[in-house]
Structure 1
Amino acid sequence: MLPDPERAEPAAPVPPAATAPAERWPLPDLLRGLAILGILCVNMQDFAGYDEWLQRGPDHAAQVFIDTFLNGKFISLFAMLFGAGMLIILQRAGGWRLLRRLLLLLALGSLHFVLVWHGDIISLYACLGLLLWLPLLTRPPAWVLALSGTGLCLWWLALRVSDALAAGAGERYSFVQPLPPDTAWSDLFRLRLGDFRGDLQGGIDYNFQWLLGLLLLGMAAQAAGVLARPERFRTLLRGLLATGLLLGLPLSLTLAWINTQATESARLWEVPVRLSSGLLLGLGYAGAVGLLVASGRVGGLRAFAAPGRLALSNYLAQSLVMTTLFYPYGLGLYGHLGALPCLLLALALGGLQLWLSARWLRRFPQGPAEALLRRLVYGRAGPGHRHREG
């Protein structure tokens, strides 16, 4: 759900007030802010319509950077933060509020898919959250959540490795969809409307073990208190950082090499390598940021807390901006840019969102999408709801 971790946890499940910056846990906000930018950089391939293994020259160098340091890393963190957010809402507002939020996110994600962009992840996360809703009401301990999440991820990786081992020869399949210059928004709307149910079901069928595992790992981190009190988990955070560097980084370099190969076998190997390297190096990033938070040395990274608090609004805005730039009913840049200009464009939009998010939070406690979702979940202003300045 693009979770919104907050500090206070009242004994009774009442609608919580919007939390002031000084009262928030800094680690989840920072990780979400970094993740929303990293995900945009990777999503540019889909927005722009280029194949990673066809990049040459500076575009190839940019694609190597994306695969090594971004691809799979931040989407893994995002999924874990979604799981952590589910547990926080359950603790703070109860199971029915959580159920209502998940259903609303499913509706919002569906509209995002049909009206704006077929790469929506909100609806998929909401569906998987609904699968976990009833078991989560039993309040399983952190170790059960961690073991269950790890087991599901390993099982899914084993399935994908099996697929890759069975791959035959052939040219790599491209998922880039052609967009003729005369394609209207209404044409894409009808196409996405027809594809939505099948795409969502396909995403669940293919990815549910992996994504459920990530949600459970995020819940385990929340239940253990890692997100709230990273200073108590320095040994764990150092271990995550070391694992990311020793295992995640070499696997990420392997991913960068795989994505230069134009074979079907490479396409199938890309999936487990991308997601395993993404999880390991993503956890390494979380370990590094957690250690900085624990030591009080966040420095310039603190700026990413603002877009992290507005993650849902920023995610939706990214889709609106990039589809307007690339799709035929906008500026029509689809298929005309390679990895390097797309990376620079993503960083430029990310920098703008960094600035706009900070300015927005000087006047409002939440982003527009977050405020709308909160109103729909809790009704009008809940008990104690007010604009509290940090």
Structure 2
Amino acid sequence: MTQPAPDTVLPPDAAPSVHAPVAAQDRALLPDALRGFALLGIALINVQDFAGFRMWEQQGLDRAVQVMTDVLFNGKSITLFAMLFGWGAAGLWERHGAALYIRRHLLLLVIGLLHFALLWHGDIIAGYAVGAFIFMLLLRFRATALLRWAWGLYLLGVLNYVAGYGMFSTTPGSRQLFSETFAPGQSYASMLQARLAEVPEQVLSGVWLASITLPLFAFGGWAYRSGLLTRPAEHLPLLRRLLGWGLGLGIPLSLGLAYLNTVDTEQAGLLSEGMRLVSGLPMAFGYVGLFGLAVVQRPGLPALQALSNSGRLALTHYISQSIVLTSIFYPYTFDLRGHVGAAAAVGTALVLALAQIALSRLYLARYGRGPLESLLRWAVYGRR
């Protein structure tokens, strides 16, 4: 039978008749390990927002910690997480078709909006869910076309961030921290009331966020269609190139990001957002190369297994990070927000992330899957 051309549009619904999630024994090690690593980095970066410290004001040990997190994780973890989301979305579409794909992402939209309203204004789940519906337009294309779309949309997103930066102030002291603001001693009830009023705006912001997430989803879709993450042994030359070129480009760019985050001007703040995107992609590719080669050469490495266990609990861990960190920093609990620097805040997040990694194996041995993963599985597939 003649195979279709690489860029031919796929049929809209070539799904199998039996819908079931991937069994634990059939899960690939590499995607889960990368997801666990991304979750660790997300905790270290998001704690800046929870703790409310100004990165450009950090000095001494605090500045050293800020530089380290900028170089290794800032923009990189979220890029990697978004690509893995696209990888999973492409797999869901291919295995089960459009109807189940839509159902799952509608449920994720609800979970994300609840996370936004009840816990934290920086939720990404709802935005990813909105982006997933737009991603459906690209999922009918094969790997080569997906890769072209990914690069094209990524470059447009970069231009969107850096174009017009000269319009912004270069006056020292003009930089702003775009974290949530609270009144002294603000109650949980008043915060909840304010967030509920912002839910429609949060949904619409997911459409804007797609300018960033859509190319990353497309890179993930390409990785799924090419088998890069599920069959890494077949892609050793590519993995080596990703490691070399990714870290070779990403580290210098990340040092530029770290520098921008020491400059107290509005223009530097805007440029740092663009640099997060620019440095995030090559570093994420570098991490894919690093972990991919490790999985091929040393699949039994304890660190890989530990991160893989954590990655299997990604939704539960992501939400629980918000529960713990808001409980520590927000004014209606221990009210430490604005009272600690980068070292103390990142140290707190690191302890939390490492505890999640350590406990994941014990939890999975007893329960098999996380509570939120079980809820989502039941709602999507109708089984526990």
Task: Give the CA RMSD over aligned residues.
Answer: 1.6
- Where does structure 1 differ by over 6 angstroms across 4 or more consecutive aligned residues? none
With over 3 angstroms needed to count, the CA separation of the structure-2 counterparts of 1:145 and 1:52, relative to structure 1, is same
Deviation at 1:356, TM superposition (A): 1.7
Aligned residue identity for 1:153: Y
Q: Tell me, in whole angstroms, the C-alpha distance in 1 between the residues paired with 2:132 and 2:169.
A: 36
- Corresponding position of 2:87: 84
Deviations 1:321-373 (A, max 9, x none): 11111111211111111100111111111111112211111012211100100
Following superposition of structure 1 onto structure 2, how do residues 258-269 of structure 1 map, counting pairs within 5 Å? 258-269=260-271
- Corresponding position of 2:210: 208
- The answer as to whether partners of 1:13 and 1:94 remain within 8 angstroms in 2 is no
- Corresponding position of 1:273: 275
- Corresponding position of 1:148: 149
Bigger shift: residues 249-258 or 181-190: 181-190
Which residue among 362, 368, 375 is the counterpart of 2:365? 362
- Corresponding position of 2:197: 194
**TM-score, normalised on structure 2?**
0.92
- Corresponding position of 1:4: none
- The answer as to whether partners of 1:51 and 1:176 remain within 8 angstroms in 2 is no
- The answer as to whether partners of 2:50 and 2:337 remain within 8 angstroms in 1 is yes
Deviations 1:206-252 (A, max 9, x none): x3222100001100000000011011111111111111222110000
Aligned residue identity for 2:257: L
Which residue among 262, 266, 290 is the counterpart of 1:288? 290
Which residue among 349, 354, 360 is the counterpart of 2:352? 349
Q: Between the two proteins, what is the percent identity of the paired residues?
A: 42
Bigger shift: residues 225-234 or 125-134: 125-134
- The answer as to whether partners of 1:99 and 1:133 remain within 8 angstroms in 2 is no
Q: Tell me, in whole angstroms, the C-alpha distance in 2 between the residues paired with 1:342 and 1:80.
A: 27
Q: Give the match's secondary structure for 1:98.
A: helix
Q: Tell me, in whole angstroms, the C-alpha distance in 1 between the residues paired with 2:313 and 2:363.
A: 9
Q: Give the match's secondary structure for 1:254.
A: helix
Aligned residue identity for 2:146: L
Q: Tell me, in whole angstroms, the C-alpha distance in 1 between the residues paired with 2:206 and 2:249.
A: 27
- Corresponding position of 1:217: 219
Q: Give the match's secondary structure for 2:344.
A: helix
Which residue among 215, 232, 240 is the counterpart of 1:238? 240
- Corresponding position of 1:159: 160
Q: Tell me, in whole angstroms, the C-alpha distance in 1 between the residues paired with 2:69 and 2:62.
A: 10
- The answer as to whether partners of 2:126 and 2:206 remain within 8 angstroms in 1 is no
Q: Return 5+ residue gaps in structure 2 as ranges.
A: 1-13
Following superposition of structure 1 onto structure 2, how do residues 250-261 of structure 1 map, counting pairs within 5 Å? 250-261=252-263
Give the length in aligned residue pairs: 368
Q: Tell me, in whole angstroms, the C-alpha distance in 2 between the residues paired with 1:270 and 1:298.
A: 38
Q: Give the match's secondary structure for 2:164.
A: helix
Which residue among 61, 64, 67 is the counterpart of 1:61? 64
Which residue among 17, 23, 30 is the counterpart of 1:19? 23
2:41 paired with 1:38: yes
With over 3 angstroms needed to count, the CA separation of the structure-2 counterparts of 1:289 and 1:309, relative to structure 1, is same
- The answer as to whether partners of 2:127 and 2:207 remain within 8 angstroms in 1 is yes
Q: Tell me, in whole angstroms, the C-alpha distance in 1 between the residues paired with 2:170 and 2:255.
A: 23
- Corresponding position of 2:380: 377
Q: Tell me, in whole angstroms, the C-alpha distance in 1 between the residues paired with 2:198 and 2:274.
A: 25
Aligned residue identity for 2:254: S
Deviation at 1:13, TM superposition (A): 4.0
- Corresponding position of 2:4: none
Q: Return 5+ residue gaps in structure 1 as ranges.
A: 1-9, 382-390
- The answer as to whether partners of 2:110 and 2:126 remain within 8 angstroms in 1 is yes
Q: Give the match's secondary structure for 1:94.
A: helix
With over 3 angstroms needed to count, the CA separation of the structure-2 counterparts of 1:168 and 1:331, relative to structure 1, is closer
Q: Give the match's secondary structure for 1:222.
A: helix
Q: Give the match's secondary structure for 1:160.
A: helix
- The answer as to whether partners of 1:18 and 1:365 remain within 8 angstroms in 2 is no
Which residue among 75, 78, 94 is the counterpart of 1:75? 78
2:344 paired with 1:333: no
Deviations 1:98-126 (A, max 9, x none): 11000000011001100111110000000
Bigger shift: residues 25-34 or 156-165: 156-165
Deviation at 1:203, TM superposition (A): 4.8
With over 3 angstroms needed to count, the CA separation of the structure-2 counterparts of 1:17 and 1:113, relative to structure 1, is closer
Q: Tell me, in whole angstroms, the C-alpha distance in 2 between the residues paired with 1:134 and 1:159.
A: 21
Deviation at 1:162, TM superposition (A): 1.0
Q: Tell me, in whole angstroms, the C-alpha distance in 2 between the residues paired with 1:256 and 1:298.
A: 35
